[in-house]
Structure 1
Amino acid sequence: MSEIKITGSNSPQEISGIKLEKQCSSKGFDKFMREAINEISNIQEEAERAVKELASGGDVIQAVIAMEKADMSFQLMIEVRNKLLNAYDEIMRMQV
């Protein structure tokens, strides 16, 4: 059997003018999650403002869009939480 040679490197390289940015940032996971939760909270507050504006004669479509955006962001947050809990449970079941 002939020898297999691997050329190149395993590290990503720049492709035709597209610069690779570092995927990892200096902030930790907890800071990332806090920022995400704060963003979802802001979206919820925007939806509440849109509903209050609707009660005082505001645009129905804007209120519906804001409520749906808030609902979708909240559902996404719940799904992320569920995935994190499932991952934690799986790690805890691992034998050392």
Structure 2
Amino acid sequence: MSIGAIDTSRIEAMMAQLQAAAARTSPANVNPLSDGGLQTKQASAVDFQSVLKTSLDQVNQVQLQSQHLAQRFEMGDSTVSLSDAMISLQKSSIALQQTVQVRNKLVSAYQEIMAMGV
């Protein structure tokens, strides 16, 4: 992966995930039954814990890569420019901020659920 260029493979993978999610929720996936009810097609089960862990691992990997790139620049590696190191550090900072915001939303949703009356 080149730091200076945009990594289109990750963008394409994210687009494929979004399209798959949209396909699972589209009306085309709803089949009328003979009794007039609706039944949704069985979607593959997604384990929330594994998705969350994978996301956190990716954020961690981005941070480790940016730290490694910054260390290489600090040590005088001529193949690493200052702009590459700074861009990489900003990407890792944004990824961390995004993770914190997702955590905040999850905590907020949990608190709302716990406050619901039964």
- TM > 0.5: yes
What SS does the corresponding residue of 1:95 show, helix, strand or coil?
coil
Post-superposition offset of 1:26: 3.1
In the alignment, the residues of structure 1 paired with residue 93 and residue 65 of structure 2 have an alpha-carbon distance, to the nearest angstrom, of 12
In the alignment, the residues of structure 2 paired with residue 75 and residue 37 of structure 1 have an alpha-carbon distance, to the nearest angstrom, of 12
In the alignment, the residues of structure 2 paired with residue 69 and residue 42 of structure 1 have an alpha-carbon distance, to the nearest angstrom, of 12
Measured on the aligned residues, the alpha-carbon RMSD in Å equals: 1.9
The code of the aligned residue for 1:70 comes to: S
Unaligned segments of structure 1, at least 5 residues? 1-9, 14-21
2:54 aligns with 35
1:76 aligns with 98
In the alignment, the residues of structure 2 paired with residue 94 and residue 26 of structure 1 have an alpha-carbon distance, to the nearest angstrom, of 27
TM-score normalized with structure 2 length: 0.61
The code of the aligned residue for 2:85 comes to: A
Structure with greater proportional strand content: 2
Larger radius of gyration: 1
Identity %: 27
In the alignment, the residues of structure 1 paired with residue 92 and residue 63 of structure 2 have an alpha-carbon distance, to the nearest angstrom, of 5
In the alignment, the residues of structure 2 paired with residue 33 and residue 59 of structure 1 have an alpha-carbon distance, to the nearest angstrom, of 33
TM-score normalized with structure 1 length: 0.74
Structure with greater proportional helix content: 2
Unaligned segments of structure 2, at least 5 residues? 1-25, 30-40
State how 1:1-96 maps to structure 2 within 5 Å: 11-12=27-28, 25-57=44-76, 58-96=80-118
